[in-house]
Amino acid sequence: MTHSRRDVMTIAGGLSVAAAAGAQAQTPKTIFPVAPTFIPIVGTSDLYPVRRIYCIGRNYAAHAREMGSDPTREPPFFFQKPTDAIQNVKIGEVADHPYPSLTKNYHYEVELVAALKSGGRNIAMDKALDHVYGYAVGLDMTRRDLQRAMGDEKKPWEIGKSFDMSAPIGPIHPVDKVGHFTKGAIQLSVNGQVKQKADLSFMIWSVAEQIAKLSEAFELKAGDIIYSGTPENVGPVVKGDVLLCQIEKLPDLSVKIV
C-alpha cells in the first residue's frame, strides 16, 4: 500500500503541528519576560544555563573553627542563592561589584564551583563526578553582620547570603579540558595582599561527597551549580578594594568593590 499525496501532506502537517505544540509547551506565553541566567563556557559560544545555586557551609576545618563550630562533628549543610545572584566576570576583567545595602561588614569567600550536566536522587559517591560538566572560580559574597544576626536569632540566612549579585563567577571550564579538582591551591588577595590561602584537598567534604549528600535532600538536575565552601581567613572589604581569586588550573577572577 502506498500513501497518497494527501496522506503524506497530512502526516507532515500533523508533525509540524505536534512540533509547534512541543515548542510551545517548553516556552509557554508569559505575561512578561523574566531573564534566564547563563554562565559563559570557555572555548565555545554556547552558554551554561543555571537552574539552582547550592552553597556548602563550613567545608574547610580551619574556616569552620573560625566561624565557631567543630569541624570534626558537623555534617555538611547547604543553603541556596537565587539563580540571578550570578555576576558573570570575564577572564582578564576587573568587574565592578556593588557594595550591597544594609551591611557594614561585607565579606569575601573564594570557592571552587562545580557545575552539573545531569543529576538525580541518592547519587552514589563513586558516580557523583560523572554528573559534573565543569568547574569555575566563584565568590560567595556575604553580609556577615546580617548572617550572624539572623543566626543568633535562629532565623534564615537569606538576607546575609542570598541577595542580588552575591555570586560573582568566572566562566565554566569543561571537565574534558581541566579534569576534576580534588587538590590544588586556592587563594584570595585584597589589593595585592594574600588573605585566604589553602588547598582544595583541605575540604572536609569533597565535591563528590557534596553531590552525594545534596542528592539525598534534593533531586539534582542539569544546570545546578555548587559553591563548594571557602577556606579560613574570610574578611571584610570596603569600596575601592580589588579582590583577586585564584584556583590552580583555572584563570583568575577579579572584582572591584564599588
What is the binding site for Mn ion (CB under 5 A)?
A: 109, 140, 230
Nearest approach, Cβ of residue 55 and Mn ion (Å)? 5
Q: Which is nearer to Mn ion, 41 or 56 (CB)?
A: 56
CB 235 within 8 A of CB 195: yes
Residue (109 or 224) nearer to Mn ion, CB: 109
Shortest Cβ distance from residue 79 to Mn ion (Å)?
9
Q: Least distance (Å) from Mn ion to the CB of residue 16?
A: 49
Q: How far is the CB of 82 from Mn ion (least distance, A)?
A: 15
Q: Within the chain, where are the H helices?
A: 5-26, 61-66, 125-128, 144-152, 158-161, 175-178, 207-217
- State in angstroms the smallest separation of the CB of 228 from Mn ion: 8
Q: Which of 41, 163 has the CB closer to Mn ion?
A: 163
Q: Which is nearer to Mn ion, 147 or 254 (CB)?
A: 147
Task: Report DSSP letters for 122-174, one per residue.
Answer: S--HHHHGGGEEEEEEEE--EEHHHHHHHHHTT--SHHHHSSTT-EEE--BEE
Whether 119 and 197 have beta carbons less than 8 Å apart is answered as no
Cell of 58: 563550613
Q: How far is the CB of 110 from Mn ion (least distance, A)?
A: 9
Between 68 and 192, name the residue whose CB sits nearer to Mn ion.
68
Give the Cα separation of 101 and 258 in Å (integer): 12
**Minimum CB distance to Mn ion, residue 162 (Å):** 12
User: CA–CA distance from 78 to each of 123, 141, 174 (Å)?
Assistant: 16, 15, 24
Chain centroid, CA 130 distance in Å = 17
Nearer to Mn ion, 41 or 195 (CB): 195
What does R_g of the chain's alpha carbons equal in angstroms? 21
Decide: 137 and 57 in contact? Cβ < 8 Å: no
Comparing every residue's Cβ against Mn ion, the nearest one is 140
